[in-house]
Structure 1
Amino acid sequence: MTIKTPKKLIEVALPLDDINEACSKEKSIRHGHPSTLHLWWARRPLAAARAVLFAQLVNDPGYERSLGRGMNKERARVERERLFGIIKRLVRWENTGNQALLAEAKAEIARSWRETCELNKLHPDAAQLFNPDNPPAFHDPFGGGGAIPLEAQRLGLLSHASDLNPVAVMINKAMIEIPQRFLGKAPIGPVSPNDRQARLDEDWLGTKGIAEDVRRYGGWMREAAEKKIGHLYPQIELTKSDGGRKATVIAWLWARTVKSPNPAFSHVDVPLVSSFVLCAKDGKESWVMPRVDGDQYSFEVRNGKAPTSAKSGTKAPGRGSNFICLLSGSPIDGDYIKSEGKAGRMGSRLLAVVAEGARGRVYLSPTEEAERVAKSAEPEWKPVGEIPSKLTGGTCVPYGLKEWGDLFTPRQLVALTTFSSLVQEARDKVHRDALAKGWPDDGTSLEAGGSGATAYADAVAIYLAFSIDKASDYWSSICTWHASKELIRNTFGRQAIPMTWDYAETNPFSDSAGNVSSGVEWAKKAIELFPAEQPGIAVQDDAQSQRISEGKVISTDPPYYDNIAYADLSDYFYVWMRRALRSIYPSLFSTMAVPKDEELVAAAYRHGSREKAESFFLNGMTQAMQSLSGQAHPAYPTTIYYAFKQSDTTDVGTGNTGWETFLEAVLRAGFAITGTWPMRTELANRMISSGTNALASSIVLVCRARPASAPAISRREFLRELREELSEAVDAMIGGVDGISPVAPVDLAQAVIGPGMGIFSKYSAVLEADGSPMSVHTALTLINRMLTEGADEFDADTQFCLGWFDEQGWSAGEFGKADVLARAKGTFVDHVRDAGVVAAARGEVRLLKPAEFPREWSPKNDNNTPVWEALHQLIRALRDEGETAAGTHLADMPQRAEPIRNLAYRLYTLCERKGWAEDARAYNELITSWTGIEAASHERGHLGSQSMLDI
């Protein structure tokens, strides 16, 4: 008996603009955001995860029609808009903890489940698969940063997360598993007399209690550490002009050094400085003046604007790691620096000291005492393990920083080892304090499923270890000083471990960025906002072989081909996390490093070649996708995120090797694609910048298992079906029919992949003329080409302009070529010129730019108005005068609204593929303003009708 599977909302429509806007705004959120608990690379926005899950779980209002029943279109439209309203409210950050809204969303999810159960109540497996009192649980087999499992839990699902990477598993445990065990518990930590933030009369609902204990014991750790190693971070004496008092140091700024290659100065360690500028803020400028005396040099901090020469430090002109000897002026090339680093002869020299002044940052010249104290630190332990010698995004290994311990100064190593040791001491203290407060304890650990005093002590220790990981991101010699913002840049400003020359060493006991208390405070605020009402489970498992997905709803964010080497990067945190938590989670931290052999990334440096890496990725991802296809609950589609980065844009479409390989794996696994949704995390005005193709930051694939009986078809049949169905789908995306929100031009190329690949993937194969199966690359090319077809819907003059623009852009071309094209399109150059859209003179023809169209134009007075002219007049009016002026023009030619909008989409696609970023922006701006223009048009039309009645 066939299972009846109603279409879900995500397979039909989404309010993309609202979701994308929320994703963009979320990037600026810090307080309480889970990303502040622990760094993870390429974590999906919560807004996107929440919207996708809700739309994946809720039936589309038109599902009855999809099952062959009658359905009132208007009612479906109204219902769809109501569901859109829920999504639009759900994605706002300020509604993250809105319990009334979440209850409304959960009720919709439950209602859809009951409807699905009712449809399948006669199915022989109904008791197992369609029990209305037992909805499916959720699973993300690539848990990563935990955004998707967290949002599944927030929407009321029993949430499972798994990952091969122990750092990711620990993050997911901290977000969805641990908080739920200790709901409503009052904090037990003693309040320090110096603690001004202590709260004694809180209601301690939800996770507030454990969050407060993390803060209290984090404060205890700071005090204990300061007693042990505070002497390594002494205050500094300010100059009289700065107040003449002792002040807390914020950071020490260092320059790496190598022996001068000049024989006369080969005994001197000379500095490698990328810039001598310390502060670039207006009115607060500071810089370092190097002073040379024979074979000696020193640094002096100066206030005021830096000379131009100071901005490049001792860097040689041009790119690369090439410097100039401060003493002799001799060049120091990158190969020499690498050889010195590998030989262990790279040192450091203090450049300047940044302190807390009465009115902000104070920059001071370095002192011998400050340098002596820093170099007096003697760490008892440092992490071992090799940093990858090759790493996507860059690595510091060629310069002699080979092991994880090499990334830290001796003083940083002392601080990190001290704090990581204190995690265990804090754990023991929590345990004693819990027993003293009367907590029950059977000795069962957190790992073993406990919830008593022992388990609670383990839980608090985990969050404290996270705060040390957070601190380690700011406590390495990869960190640099941001002269414009006057703060320390963290180690992972990008997904790489690049070499840095002048670096910043923060003070753990200051109150500025990178201090240990900030990591504790970030953790506390994040914990307070975890939903935690539903249980969550996070385990270590391989996505290729896991069986957790059986009968569950699946949404996941797998690795993106070769973009990020998660396992390689995670070792940076793993070495410290393992030291602090191995006794708490011994099974998770049994290995010396994060498992890498099975990690599904196409890292050429790991597999020996790009071809071998691609084969490994394709085979492994296919196996992982097969696992999902075979286990997913049949009532729900599976949603899969793919980061659409590093895209290559050509005349045949937008794509890249990783994207095509990933799609190949999905289809090989037996999935059919029923939708693709572009999710952006950038502001709309940043979609196209600097001539680059920014597009969507990720694409959500909506998939269902392809029936085993799916037939094969020929290329000719595929093309026929593609033309018939894709044009209708594109029209719906552009026009926004039946309650479906219009898709912006910037998203159209990705969104159209959904219906296009939906046709391709529903067949077992599309066979070429020689009998071979069509490749994903070919299918994507054909789908992309469909976007630029259909120009015959426009008038002859517009068809000429389209063809001429494709060939010439805005530049002039030969009259003879233009004449041939015009005749082929059924018009003449003179006719197009008389329409006012081209300039023809001296044997050349060129299209007029929007700014060249006459401002006084009115469609009511122009009886020769091609769609091309109408579109570019609207663009001119929008840019010069705004939506009202554009709406006024549209009100005078309402019958042209649809062709104008269609032409804008077509021209946007053409410009995007050719890399004409500024031109593409104009068409995208018109479409994104279309709702406002139409509103102004309707208002203008209403006023015009009213005035006629008055007459």
Structure 2
Amino acid sequence: MAYKKKLIEVALPLEVINDASAREKSIRQGHPSTLHLWWSRKPLAVCRAVLFASLVDDPSSHPEQFPDEKAQAQERQRLFAILGDLVKWENSGNEQVLEMARAEILKSTGGEPPPVYDPFCGGGSIPLEAQRLGLCARGSDLNPVAVLITKALIELPAKFAGRPPVNPAARGEIGQNNGWQGAAGLAADVRYYGRWLRDEAEKRLGRLYPKVTLPAAGGEGTVIAWLWVRTVKCPNPACGCDMPLASKFTLSAKKGREVWVEPQVDRAKGQVSFVVRTGPGQPPAGTVDRRGAKCICCGTPVPLDYIRELGQQGRIGGAVIAQVVAGKEGKMYVSPGENNEPMPTSDFLTDLAAARISGYFNPPNYGYASIGALYNPRQRYALATFAGLVKEAKAQCLQDGGDEEYAAAVATYLALAVGRLANRLSSFAIWNIHRETIEQTFSEQGVAMAWDYAEANPFSGSTGSWEGSLEWIPKCLELLPGEGYGTAEQKDAAAAWGDTGKWLISTDPPYYSSITYADFADFFYGVLRQALKEDYPELFATVATPKAAEIVAARHRFDGDRVRASEHFRGQLERAVKNIYAAMNDDYPATIYYAFKEQEVAEKDEGYYTAWESILGVLIGAGLQIVCTWPLRTERVSGRKTTKNALASSIVLVCRKRASDAPVATRREFVAAVKRGLPAALKGLAQSNIPPVDLAQAAIGPGMAIFSQYRQVYEADGEPMSVRTALQIVNQELDAYLAAQEGMLDEDTRFCLAWFEQFGLSEAPFGVADVLARAKNTSVERLVSDGVLAAAKGKVRLLKWEELADGWQPGYEGRITVWRFTQQITNALLGAGGEDAAARLVYFLGGARAEQAKALAYRLYAICERKGWSEAGLAYNSLVVSWPAIQQKVVNLAAKLSVQGELAF
């Protein structure tokens, strides 16, 4: 099949893309991810880079212009420079940068770029970036919440681009202001009607959120949050108090403003009250953890099973232990007061009350079995009021001159703001004692049981309030492209598509069992449905999000049967990938994002597929060839800031249709092809600075490219080779490649490597070390003198890199082994000197030895990974991840010292 290779099929500036992606994590104001929560969003920088590189030709596709490798490399660097500017968050709206990228796309596509389709659009990142690049963008998803978010990103801003606001406050500006560019006018109306909605809500709800009298300062203060603990009746008949279930009694852990609660126990009455303390003091320990609880009144141990049983009976209560109040000099903490205002009832989410929560939720174990149960009565009533007021705000917009479609658009963003509010207005939103803020209910991918929680005051103007929820939305709107064509629709990717088209497919399908999107989205669906079901009847036709067709291996939907769950996932994914195959444009590769964090291992006879086996098997079975894979990192871990081995969040599988005349191969032929092709690919990956933690996954790309180029690979018995077996062969060759690098090492380093693989950093008998040293043509005495080995009392062990001397100066030693050099660079990097100190060592010892150290770091990490020594592997992963920064500092140092004419350690 003849086609022009695209840039993504040959090379990518991974470090540049990954740095930009990691930086996005710290961008909040105006970032599309702040419009509304969605899980596992792909960074915009990654999506933009993947789309650009999927459309732009690699220079090797034009030998008439770039006849040799040097010319092709120069052209790639030019394209990389454009890509480097393109992925920066600051350039998201930079028309000069965007036009350069669009020009390259037009040049490579003959002026007719294909439309982009993401059939699993989720949070909308891929279609949004397609629209930003001037492409026709289409997204679809089975989940209605995902579709609504994507509409709000790509459909509504473009539909109302350049339109001035209709609110009365802005009318006086319309004649003077011709600057309502993009969605700025829509954003102004969202702000205005959002304030209107807030004022109306306060009229109806204000009595439920009274001010408090400040005991010391006097006067009244606005409550920011009520801090609650759950309570249960003590099982001890002689006690019977309402015992607080507090994970902690600390309210603020900020240095210099420590605040905590002191429980006051009246054993005679079996009652507990709470007093806020500030300043020096020792907060009491919490009364509940994962092992169980303890009654604060009588000391009786209470098992979690008892608490779960009471919870199932609806007998878990609650008590306010403190109030956070807005003071003149910041937040104040006061002891709980009395609020005798009766709590009104609400029918909020009664249509979901009977539907049990499922998936990665722990609260149902304690009786919180429905969405409505996740809120206390005041929260339920408040959210019902806010959601109902969205319709009234829409009516007000119509009255002020907006048409039906425009008013519905304003209502859409207001409803998303209510969804944002719900995320911090549940009884599972905890108080962050370090930042003194309310955490989201979904602070992780799931909802854990919260023994203590913070109830926000939606009218405080502070953390968890309506203002805090609303303002993110217009800020996001103002920075969206607001032009071009974009559409989002609800669609089952596994059902017949009808319009096959000729699309550039780029998508992020569900991750096996990692995230059950439908279960999570139900949390927001009820609020959004109450506000918008008349405007989007097709999206909100059901009382909960669709689950039966969702492509996820959710065991709880199959009575805990993981085999049936796995079969469902694979079957649905097969149908979706067949649709992708039929719809993809043959001139462009499809790009499929996939997470590989799952470490599930299954025996072949267990009857189910692992995540990787499923996705690769389905792609290859549908007739796709995996051309290459690119690991994409969303967190940068470097230097002494490293605390864990951070896996790349996902990789991109670059796929083409397999040639119809593709050959078949035997197992022997496949293994031989892997032995021929994999080493060169692995060398290229190492040169591009793939972190060791990602290397095994990155190796899947070239390995599966070889496997999937065949129509079929046959075992010796004539049976087709499974994907699982092919992956095992690729991993074996990866190990063999890393082991082969040992032949280039000095004899002392080979000893240390063999010792490390067998004993790690533990002690072993001197005699064993002596035998191994002789076999490696060295001696224990020499290794001790080299400063890599410790020997005492008949025992020998490798020195840890932390034990090596800081400020090591290699000029005073006769011989320096690769092992010593690697450990010293690691010590410099992760010690006080950081990257600067590491760079000085690399500069002094030269590039060739430095590359040996980097190669050894790969090998050491692989050993640690295989042995399960995650902590020991941290340092070596960090060394490789930091390598580009070290290299740059080496260049800077060389330039500086060439001027000085000296090297000063």
Which of 530, 534, 541 is 1:579 aligned to? 530
Taking a change above 3 Å as real, the CA distance of residues 168 and 306 of structure 1, as seen in their structure-2 partners, is: farther
Kept in 2: contact 1:30–1:36 (CA 8 A):
yes
Question: Which residue number corresponds to residue 588 of structure 1?
Answer: 539
Equivalent position to 2:197, from 221, 235, 238: 221
Deviation of the 1:456 alpha carbon = 0.5
Mean CA deviation greater in 516-525 or 802-811: 802-811
Which of the residues 445, 460, 467 maps onto 1:517? 467
Tell whether the 8 Å contact from 1:215 to 1:524 is kept in structure 2 after alignment: yes
Q: Distance in 1 between the 2:828 and 2:227 partners?
A: 53
- CA drift at 1:177: 0.8
Q: In the alignment, is the contact (CA less than 8 A) between 1:250 and 1:355 conserved in 2?
A: yes
Residue 623 of structure 2 is matched in structure 1 by 670
TM-score (norm: length of structure 1): 0.87
1:19 equivalent in structure 2 = 17
CA distance in 2, matches of 1:292, 1:725: 73
2:505 aligned partner: 554
Indicate conservation of the 8 Å contact 1:8/1:57, yes or no. yes
Query: Does the C-alpha gap of structure 1 residues 9 and 883 become closer, same or farther in structure 2, counting only changes over 3 Å?
Result: same
- Which residue does 1:209 correspond to in 2? 185
Q: Deviations over 1:114-158 (max 9, x none)?
A: 2xxxxxxxxxxxxxxxxx4x3210000001111111111111111
Which residue is equivalent to 2:225?
251
1:698-737 pair list within 5 angstroms = 698-735=650-687
489, 493, 500: which one aligns with 1:539: 489
Instruction: Please tell me the residue identity of whatever aligns with 1:174.
Output: A
Aligned to 1:183: 161
CA offsets per residue over residues 406-442 of structure 1, 9 Å max, x none? 122221122111111111111111112126xxxxxxx
- State the distance in 1 between where 2:248 and 2:795 align: 52
1:449: which partner in 2?
A: none
Amino acid at match of 1:213: D
* Contact 2:645–2:693 under 8 Å retained in 1: no
Deviations along 1:520-556, one digit per CA (max 9) or x if unpaired, are 2111111111113111110111111242553101111
1:573 deviates by 0.7
Is this contact kept in 2: 1:61–1:80, CA < 8 A? yes
* Contact map agreement 2:376 2:427 (CA 8 A) in 1: yes
C-alpha change, 1:13 and 1:213, in structure 2 (3 Å) is same
Whole-Å separation in 1 of the counterparts to 2:809 and 2:348: 77
Aligned residue for 1:62, secondary structure, equals helix
Residue 753 of structure 1 aligns with which residue? 700
Q: How far apart are residue 872 of structure 1 and its match?
A: 3.9
The verdict on how the C-alpha distance between 1:928 and 1:407 changes in structure 2, with shifts beyond 3 A counting, is closer
Q: Is the counterpart of residue 431 in structure 1 residue 431 in structure 2?
A: no
Aligned to 1:416: 383
Contact 2:825 2:841 in 1 (8 A): no
Within a 5 Å distance, the mapping from 1:855-874 to structure 2 comes to 858=810, 862=814, 866-874=817-825
- TM-score of the pair, normalised by structure 2: 0.91
Give the distance between the partners of 1:634 and 1:498, measured in 2 at CA: 46
Letter matched to residue 407 of structure 1: L
How does 1:34-433 map onto structure 2 within 5 Å? 34-64=32-62, 71-114=67-110, 132=111, 134-191=112-169, 201=177, 203-239=179-215, 241=216, 243-266=217-240, 268-293=241-266, 294-305=268-279, 308=282, 310-312=284-286, 314-315=287-288, 319-320=290-291, 322-368=292-338, 370=339, 372-373=340-341, 375-385=342-352, 391-433=358-400
> How far apart, CA to CA, are the structure 1 residues paired with 2:174 and 2:278?
43
The 3-state SS of whatever aligns with 2:163 is: coil
User: Take 1:136 and 1:885, find their aligned partners in 2: how far apart are those partners?
Assistant: 47
Alignment identity in percent?
Answer: 45
Alpha carbons of structure 1 residues 405 and 472: separation in structure 2 relative to 1, 3 Å: same
Decide whether aligned partners of structure 1 residues 200 and 188 sit closer, same or farther in structure 2, where only a CA change above 3 A counts.
farther
The 5 Å alignment of 1:474-623 reads 474-547=424-497, 548=499, 550-608=501-559, 609-623=561-575
Give 1:819 deviation, angstroms. Answer: 5.4
Cα distance change, pair 351–904 in 1 and its aligned pair in 2 (3 A): closer
Cα distance in 1 for residues equivalent to 2:191 and 2:779: 77
Shift in alpha-carbon separation, 1:426–1:403, aligned structure 2, 3 A: same
Q: 1:426 to 1:19 in 2, by over 3 A?
A: same
The aligned counterpart of 2:713 is: 766
- List aligned pairs for 1:753-902, cutoff 5 A: 753-789=700-736, 790=740, 791-818=742-769, 821=772, 837-838=788-789, 845-850=796-801, 851-852=803-804, 858=810, 862=814, 866-875=817-826, 883=836, 887=840, 891=844, 895-902=848-855
Contact 1:388 1:397 in 2 (8 A): no
Counterparts of 2:890 and 2:213 in 1: how far apart (Å)?
68
Letter in 2 for 1:7: K
Q: CA deviation at 1:924?
A: 3.6
Q: Cα offset for 1:211?
A: 0.7
Structure 1 SS opposite 2:39? coil
The question of whether the paired residues in 1 share the 8 Å contact of 2:357 and 2:369 is answered with no
CA, structure 1 residues 202+349, in 2 after alignment: closer, same or farther (shift >3 Å)? Answer: farther
- How far did residue 856 of structure 1 move? 6.7
Shift of the alpha carbon at 1:888?
Answer: 5.8
Q: Give the residue type in structure 1 aligned to 2:418.
A: I
Does the 8 Å CA contact 1:867/1:900 hold for their aligned counterparts?
A: yes
Instruction: Give the deviation of 1:670 after TM superposition.
Output: 2.0
Other structure's SS at 2:424 match: coil
Question: For the structure 1 residues 247 and 69, does the alpha-carbon distance in structure 2 shift closer, same or farther, using more than 3 Å as the test?
Answer: closer
Report how far residue 236 of structure 1 moved: 1.3
Quote the Cα distance in structure 2 between the aligned partners of 1:936 and 1:839. Answer: 33
Structure 1 unpaired stretches of 5+:
115-131, 436-452, 651-655, 736-740
SS of 1:473 mapped into structure 2: helix
Partner of residue 606, structure 2: none
How far apart, CA to CA, are the structure 1 residues paired with 2:757 and 2:679? 21
CA apart distance, 1:305: 4.4
Asked if the contact 2:66/2:72 (under 8 Å) is kept, the reply is no
Task: Spell out the pairing of 1:920-931 with structure 2 (5 A cutoff).
Answer: 920-931=873-884
Question: Which runs of 5 or more structure 2 residues have no equivalent in the other structure?
Answer: 603-608
Query: SS in structure 2 opposite 1:434?
Result: coil
Cα RMSD of the aligned pairs, angstroms, is 3.2
Shift of 1:395: 2.2
Contact persistence 1:215–1:521 (CA under 8 A): yes
* 1:301–1:363 contact (8 Å) kept in structure 2: no
Per-residue deviation, 1:895: 4.7
Change over 3 Å in CA distance of 1:815–1:81 after alignment to 2 = same
Contact 1:553/1:633 (8 A) holds in 2: yes
CA distance change for structure 1 residues 643 and 892 in 2, over 3 Å: closer, same or farther?
Answer: closer
Contact 2:242-2:272 at 8 Å conserved across structures: no
Residue 657 of structure 1 is matched in structure 2 by 610
SS for the counterpart of 1:497 is coil
Provide closer, same or farther for how the CA distance between residues 392 and 859 of structure 1 changes in structure 2, counting only shifts above 3 A.
farther
